[in-house]
A and B are shown apart, each in its own frame.
Chain A
Amino acid sequence: MKALTHGLLTSVFLTAATLTPVGSMAEPTATGDLGLVIERAIGSVLLVDQSDRAALARIEGLGDLSHASLVYSPDERFAYVFGRDGGLTKVDIVKREIANRVVQAGNAIGGAISDDGTLVAVSNYEPGGVRIFDSVTLEMVLDIPTDSKTIGLVDAPGRRFVFTMWDTGETWIADLSGDDPKITKIKDMGENPYDALITANGRTYITGLFGEDGLTALDLWSDNPEPIRVLPGYGRGQQEMPVYKMPHLEGWAHTGDEFVLPAVGHHEILWVDAKSLTETGRTKTYGQPVFAMARPDGRQVWVNFAHPLNDTIQVVDTVTKEIIHEFKPGPAVLHMEFTPRGHEVWISVRDAGKVMIYDTHTFEKLHEIEADSPSGIFFTARAHRTGL
């Protein structure tokens, strides 16, 4: 018995000796409740802790982040930040430093990461197209010029990326699952698509149109996806209003049976049946919606608005489609991010220089965090969601 214990101890000791000494890892960092906030004017990101409702570190040197977004690696350690100036920056949120950075184009708009986490794609205005990079090295593996400002880039299951052209109204599907990339081009998506979304199951891609009233969907489960018109002429008979900020569709709202989408040039949100893609209702809103985002359980949709009405948020109940709460967090509300279970929402209020945290059940303000001109807020739970 004694000999056995001794033998066990020895083997434990030997095993331990081959691993990293515990002492050198000062404090292991769990990233599951962390997030990054874009500080758009000074080119930095603020690392935040959801549970502690606190900022942990500021990571600087990311270039022009005036219209920036990011995606996470599957292990929630790295963020790939897409800057307006074409910068693609890989941020290590465990070490709290920039791991790598390339300037891959002159003017970029957003990006996506493949389902297997090996490829990062960026959509560019100048030169128009999509460029795809190795997520480890940031070396370019594929350049897809489109001769158009390219928007609405999302990842789709099967190592695919889907994106759409503002100038030509085409959507392309790039399939990188095989040895040679395959590109499928779909024409006639509509006039001036401005953004797009993909549903969480990766089946439906919807692009919003600026040049005409309506949206266009694709069924990505189909062998030959064809454009499906959604709500054509939704603003017919109404006075079109000037659009001072393009809505975003990335923070799409899927309430279970319905999508909720911002109208363009009208002060309303549109409800669409998720199966038939036909209209199921409209809700008049305070201003031109920018984001209409569903709380993760789908019970509420939170809406913010374009300049000059961008100090206000309205909360819509998805059962009654009625506005149940309205409040003014402060000047220039740019973005909202729910905690993964939806108990809190974090809101960036650019001109107040704060991220404000609200309870989504009581609407009570819980806390605020100082940030320099905050815009996008991204929690690491996005790592495990298609299209985010």
Chain B
Amino acid sequence: MVNRRKNTPGTAGQRPTAPPGGRFTPPRGRSLPSVLMAMLIATPALANDAPDLVELKRLVHQDCGSCHGLTLKGGLGPDIRPQTIEHYDPDVLTGVILDGIEGTAMPPWRPLITEEEAIWIADYLLKGE
């Protein structure tokens, strides 16, 4: 582990941007749920076959990120960036995602996601963006 003690140079004096007004566009995900819902209703077969990648990425960064950090560099849970977990077999990672690790804070995600989705997440974690 790197012990970062140094103080990086400050960014004192940085100016704020203009007050929020019309130029702030809402995050892209804002209308996504309704779009997704429409897609799911229209094409259930497709939805079953192909995990929704946008939603899965959001899950990884926002919800796995609750413990592992938004950038996955770790928090209460460990660093799960590609360089840290590269020695793990994809199947092992998939199993950890689905069933958690007994005796730790890693919960089983099986109640919330499918096996296909867990396989995709394991692959995404190993490869990175």
Contacts and interface: CB of A to CB of B under 8 A. Distances in A.
Interface of A: 40-41, 46-47, 55-61, 64, 66-67, 84-86, 96-107, 109, 125-127, 138, 140, 149, 151, 166, 192, 194, 210, 242-246, 307-308, 331-332, 350-354, 369-373
Nearest to A103: B8
Interface in B1-54: 1-4, 6-8, 10-20, 24, 26-27, 29-30, 33
B26 A370 contact: yes
A372 B24 contact: yes
A242 to B, nearest CB: 4
Contact of A370 (B4, B20, B74): B20
The range of chain B's interface size is: 35 or more
Q: Is the interface of B mostly helix, strand, loop or mixed?
A: loop
A358 B7 CA distance: 41
When A and B form their complex, which 7 residue pairs have the shortest distance between CB atoms, in order from nearest? A66-B70, A242-B107, A55-B20, A102-B7, A353-B26, A353-B27, A59-B16
B105 A192 contact: yes
B73 interface: yes
Nearest to B113: A308
Contacts of A242: 100, 107-109, 111
Given A58-B19, A126-B74, A244-B107, A98 B11 contact: yes
B30 A210 contact: no
Contact of A58 (B7, B12, B20, B71): B20
B112 A308 contact: yes
Given A105-B4, A369-B20, 8 more contacts: A46-B20, A57-B16, A58-B18, A66-B70, A97-B13, A98-B13, A107-B73, A243-B105
Contact of A244 (B14, B26, B30, B66): B66
A373 B8 CA distance: 26
Contact of A246 (B13, B65, B66): B66
